């Protein structure tokens, strides 16, 4: 066990943080009930939807304006929130690697990981790997579950807490490959708050994440 060194310990720490995070179900932010036609239901008790129950824990974010980092106090994750988050778009794979992947979806080129990625590639993964926001060097692309964990369905365009100052009402890449077609990856659409998958050659916005200290 001890021989398995720092890597194991780091992965374990990450896993603990994420598992604590995944055990917390955040409130949607819906406070009214709406019927099939979209009309407000009065009294609220007559339709026992999410506006009636309002289940979950209230989300808690703070933004450090000096570092431009937002901390999610329920998951322990820290999110980039600099101006580039609402202006820079990146491909998930380079066009060359996408073409290799499309021809053979079991080729390692399908995954923009440490073993296959070229730091010179202009991809979402490399963008996060080289990000130095706040003086930190452990930024990475979030998984689909991490990214949709900051969606706030009580808001639209963008569907995120107002603590975040830089969000485009568009798609943001996650690091998660779609298992059905491995030349697709998952993205979160921050106009509506939905999660979908798309071709890895495409350019979406990028919000990098790190595990807090």
Partner 1 sequence: MKQILLITIGLSVALWADFSRDDSTQIVTDSTTGLQWQDNAIGNTMPWEDAIAYCKALEIDTHSDWRLPNINELKTIIDRGKVFPAIVDGFTNTSSNYYYWSSSTYEGRKGNAWRVYFYSGRTFSYYKDTSYYVRCVRVGQ
The least distance separating partner 1 from the CB of residue 138, rounded to whole angstroms, comes to 19
In the chain, count of helices (H) and strands (E)?
5, 9
User: Taking the mean position of all CA atoms in its chain, how far away is CA 179?
Assistant: 18
- Number of residues engaging partner 1 in binding (CB under 8 A): 52
200 binding partner 1? (CB under 8 A): no
Q: Please, what is the minimum distance in Å from the beta carbon of residue 25 to partner 1?
A: 5
Residue 51 engages partner 1 in binding (rule: CB under 8 A): yes
Q: Does residue 13 bind partner 1 (CB under 8 A)?
A: yes
Secondary structure of residue 36 in the 3-state scheme: coil
Q: Reduced to 3 DSSP states, what percent helix, strand and coil does the chain have, rounded to the nearest 5?
A: 30, 25, 50
Euclidean distance between CA atoms 93 and 141, whole angstroms: 13
Q: Taking a C-beta distance cutoff of 8 angstroms, is the pair 62, 71 a contact?
A: yes
Q: Considering only residues 98, 186, 190, 204, which one is a binding residue for partner 1 as defined by CB under 8 A?
A: 186
What DSSP string runs through 68-99? TEEEETTT-EEEE-SGGGGT-EEESS-HHHHH
Residue corresponding to tokens 């964990």? 149
Q: Does 22 bind partner 1 (CB under 8 A)?
A: yes
Least Å from the CB of residue 139 to partner 1: 22
The yes or no reply on residue 42 touching partner 1 (CB under 8 A) is no
Taking the complex as a whole, the smallest distance from the CB of residue 117 to partner 1 amounts, in Å, to 21
Residue among 134, 136, 138, 178 that touches partner 1 (CB under 8 A):
178
65 part of the interface to partner 1, by CB under 8 A: no
- Residues 150-169 interacting with partner 1 (rule: CB under 8 A): 153-157, 159
List 106, 135, 180, 213, residue binding partner 1 (CB under 8 A): 180
How far, in Å, CA of 155 to CA of 152, rounded?
6
What is the rounded CA–CA span in Å between residue 33 and residue 44?
Answer: 6
Q: Nearer Cβ to partner 1, position 67 or 191?
A: 191
Does residue 43 have a cis bond before it (omega within 30 degrees)? yes
Binding residues (CB under 8 A) for partner 1: these are 1-2, 8-9, 12-13, 15-16, 19-20, 22-23, 25-28, 30, 33-39, 47-51, 53, 55-56, 144-145, 148, 153-157, 159, 176, 178-180, 186, 191-192, 194-197
């Amino acid at each position: 066990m001890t021989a398995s060194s720092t890597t194991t310990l780091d992965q374990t720490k990450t896993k603990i943080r994420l598992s604590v995070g995944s055990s917390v179900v955040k409130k949607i932010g819906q406070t009214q009930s709406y019927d099939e036609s979209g009309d407000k239901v009065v009294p609220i008790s007559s339709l026992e939807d999410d506006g009636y129950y309002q289940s979950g824990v209230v989300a808690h974010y703070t933004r450090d304006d000096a570092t431009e980092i937002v901390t999610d106090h329920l998951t322990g994750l820290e999110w980039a929130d600099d101006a580039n988050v609402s202006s820079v778009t990146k491909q998930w794979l380079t066009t060359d690697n996408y073409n290799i992947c499309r021809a053979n979806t079991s080729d390692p080129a399908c995954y923009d990981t440490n073993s296959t990625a070229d730091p010179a590639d202009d991809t979402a993964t490399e963008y996060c790997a080289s990000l130095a926001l706040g003086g930190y060097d452990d930024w990475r692309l979030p998984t689909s579950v991490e990214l949709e964990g900051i969606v706030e369905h009580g808001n639209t365009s963008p569907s995120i807490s107002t603590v975040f100052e830089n969000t485009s009402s568009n798609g943001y890449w996650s690091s998660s490959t779609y298992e059905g077609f491995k030349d697709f990856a998952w993205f979160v659409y921050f106009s509506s708050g939905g999660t979908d998958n798309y071709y890895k050659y495409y350019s979406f916005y990028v919000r990098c994440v790190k595990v807090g200290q």
